[in-house]
Amino acid sequence: MCGLCGFTGRVNERDTVLEKMTEVITHRGPDSVGYYKDDCISMGFRRLSIIDLDKGHQPIYNEDKSLVLTFNGEIYNYRELREELIALGHSFYTETDSEVLIHSFEEWGEKMLDRLRGMFGFAVYSKKDGSVFIARDFFGIKPMHYAVIDGQLVYGSEIKSILEFPLYKKSFNRRALDNYLSFQYVVPPETFFEGIYCLLPGHYLWYRDGSVKTTRYFEPTFAPDKSMTEKEAADKIEAAFENSVNAHKISDVEVGCFLSSGVDSSYVSTYFADQKTFTVGFDFGERYNEISWAEGLSKEIGVEHHTHLIGSEEFWSAVPKVQYHMDQPLADPSCIALYFVSKLASEYVKVVLSGEGADELFGGYTVYNEPHVFSAYQHIVPKGLRYALARKAKKWPHVKGRGYIMRGARKTEDKFIGNAFMYDDEEKRRILKDPSIVTRPQELCKKFYDRVKGYDEVTKMQYLDINLWMVGDILLKADRMSMANSLELRVPFLDREVFKVARTIPTKLRIAHGTTKYALRQAALRHLPKATAQKKKLGFPVPTRVWLKDKKYYDRVREMFTSETAEKFFNTDLIVSYLDDHFNGREDNSRKVWTIYVFLLWYGIFFGDDDKVLRPGTGS
């Protein structure tokens, strides 16, 4: 795993600029640094050595050195592609997957992407015509950002590299605050930095003659095989997943595994006998601590298990550092827990496998049960009456049945924007000083729903989550938190071969008998204890609602809510009332409070000083 950055054209003190852009992503690759420069481009690279430790330095070149590549990620079928390329006449000077990429591009151009199996973000520069080709993997496991400044391309694995480019004038993108408040993350391709964009998953970019054109080359669509039996589904999942895990374990360094009490990481861990697994938790009872579950499974499957109990002050002290590494605010508190488990693992291994993507591909979120739960209610109660009841219920206190009436009133496209829904448009207008930026989050989702009009409700929700939630939250925090600790994180569920199976599983075998991920659980049962394979999904629970009722942390947040930064963006009396209502037990506002707190903290780090980015924990 590595980090890359670069820019076209010339700037004053070019060498110093490139060094600064590369230095700020040292955490992505502390093992070595590499540069390429000519009159047209400057390319920087940081390496975390995983494959061909001695010779795999980058940038890397084709035979006549007319193409230059920097690459972040892993190509799991590189050995097969290497043999094919040798047969076509290509010669190699390393054993790396990076060199396979450069020859693949030379041989097949952009069509090379159809042949790859892996996770990647890479840039290829052509000396012949001065063009730059940049690609991002199918699901968005590895990141890539870019900007066009005065006709020149600037790019990087992380936004912080682009911020070091002197011709970029740092400017806050207010539009991003609108969708952040609804989704708890910034919806790509927008970022919080005006003019800097996220290259979307399954897309490539060509830079030619001062302009950028992006193209989608992969779309994760579903094609359910309704005739598939339960056994057939489990057989296919088991075979594809075992193949994927074995491919993802290819490395010249030791590979470990994250382990929670859930079925996803537990299933992965069954392929790690006599190796290392890692778990963290909080000292707030079983709801917030999966360590005992993980320890029990570890003994049963025979792995060396390592744990860390996160203290309250330890957690809160890490939040600024985490938000710095995130580049953009993410109001999912589990990203801090992920930072700690990555830190723990990095003390023992350089590579870990994890269970991200299983929920989106196989139907694992509890909310996917809703279409079935509400079907009878929506069939019996007329639409007009449902909406009238929902309007009344919205004014009720949090009593049993209130949520059912409110959510049951609307169709999926009107209520489901993903796994997090913080503030609706009415609430945003009340709390924001500038309500002109407010939009309905459903409008942003509409373009995705329009592409899956013929799908059933569950599949629509999965498609939306794969394109929004998984990219903006799940994979963003996985990459940033592992890389903050110079750790490579691999996700075997998000594999093209696994997806070929997942897309064919019928909905009746994804959600069945009141259980999510039903077919996947049946496959996992062949490897796991029944209690683990069938355990209800917890996610990565963090006790923020408990902490926000503690005077110590209440005061910390209240100080932020009444700050000059808060006054700039929010009606502070109202956001303080949200905090007070939670503290006094009148309403659980923990997620809404945390969303605003994280944004204000992040803003102070990246915009609190006009001249530089404040780097928590670095003394600057």
Q: Which residues are catalytic?
A: 5
Nearest to 138 by CA among 121, 155, 157: 121
Q: With beta carbons less than 8 A apart as the criterion, state whether 30 and 39 touch.
A: no
Strands 145-149 and 152-156: antiparallel
Among the residues of 517-589, which ranges form H helices? 518-524, 530-533, 544-547, 551-561, 564-569, 572-583
Q: Which residues of 544-579 are buried (b: 16+ CB within 10 A; e: fewer)?
A: bbbbbbeeebbebbbebbeeebbeebbebeebbebb
Alpha-carbon distance 183 to 205, whole Å?
A: 26
In DSSP terms, 4 is beta-bridged to 45
If residue 374 lies in a helix (H) or strand (E), which one and from where to where?
A: helix 370-380
Following DSSP, what letter does each residue of 505-536 receive, concatenated?
S-HHHHSBTTBSSHHHHHHHTTTS-HHHHTPP
Contact criterion met (CB below 8 Å) for 329 and 192: yes
Hey, what long-range contacts does 377-385 have (CB within 8 A, 24 or more apart)?
377/404, 377/408, 378/408, 381/408
Taking phi first (over 0 means left), then psi (-120 to 50 degrees means alpha), and beta for anything else, what does residue 163 get? alpha
Find the helix or strand (DSSP H, E) in which 298 lies: helix 291-301
Q: Which residues, in sequence order, are bridge partners of residue 36?
A: 43
Q: CA geometry: angle at 285 spanning 256 and 530, to 5°?
A: 55
Give the pair of three-digit tokens for residue 123.
């840039």
Look at residues 352, 345, 487, 354 and name the one whose alpha carbon lies nearest to residue 30: 487
Which token pair is 327?
């580049």
Query: Hey, what are 69's tokens?
Result: 């590549």
Residue 186: name the closest of 329, 323, 327, 325 by CA: 329
Secondary structure class of 370 (helix, strand, coil): helix
**At which residue do the structure tokens 């010249």 appear?**
252
Confirm if 477 and 326 have CB atoms less than 8 A apart.
Answer: yes
Radius of gyration of the chain (CA): 24
Contact call for residues 114 and 136 (beta carbons, < 8 A): no
